[in-house]
Amino acid sequence: MLEFQGKLAAFEFNHWQYHFPVPEEMATQMIDGNHRRVLIWIAGEGPFHMALMKAKDYWYVLINQELRKKFRMDQKQLFTIGMEKDPSQYGHEMPEELQVLMDQDEEGARFFNELTPGKQRMMVYTVTKVKNPDSRMKKALAIIHHLKAAKGKLDYKQLNEVIKYYNKL
């Protein structure tokens, strides 16, 4: 694992502004072709799945509001940041609930695998972020149901309606 000391920085031009700049030599060691997914540890806690991004002048990882609150971050503090390549296929660990459904439903798995890597990652994250196993299963069922009903054409508005329906079951 590579480590560096970093301070939270902010871009002035958009709402995805908070980030940690990553030293160039470390960023280039983490990039493998087009694969820029990394695991990040902040003050020894993690890993957090992130992506290396490039601004005009430097590499960075975005820091969301949840992490800023968790670590009580401001732009004056110095943090020890650990970083290593993310070996996972989807940029998050595949939730067991979704994997079981895909193992059992060939058509649903085919539609999932035809999604772009970013959309696959979003679907995996949608299930992963839920703590309750029953709710995770409902989300996974809703995703597979939606993909099959829509013949693999992901429509987030429709998917949200299907998730609401499954949550009521």
- Which tens digits make up the pLDDT trace of 34-72? 889 999 999 999 999 999 999 888 999 999 999 999 999
Smallest Cα–Cα separation from 7: which of 25, 24, 23, 28?
A: 23
Q: How far is the C-alpha of 107 from the C-alpha of 148, rounded, in Å?
A: 7
Q: How high does pLDDT run on average in the chain?
A: 92
Domain ranges across the chain: 2-85, 96-168
What's the whole-model pTM score? 0.75
Residue pair 56/109 in contact (Cβ under 8 Å)? The answer is no
Position 20, amino acid:
F
Give kind and range of the element (H or E) at residue 80: strand 79-85
Which is the CATH superfamily of the domain at 2-85? AF2212/PG0164-like (2.40.30.100)
pLDDT surpassing 80 at residue 94 = yes
Model pLDDT for residues 120-163, shown as the tens digit of each residue: 999 999 999 999 999 999 999 999 999 999 999 999 999 999 99
Q: What is the average pLDDT across 104-116?
A: 96
Residue with tokens 């940690």: 20
Residue 28 above 90 pLDDT? yes
**Which 8-state DSSP code applies to residue 12?**
S
C-alpha triplet 157, 136, 109: angle, nearest 5°: 70
Could you tell me what percent of the chain has a pLDDT over 70?
98
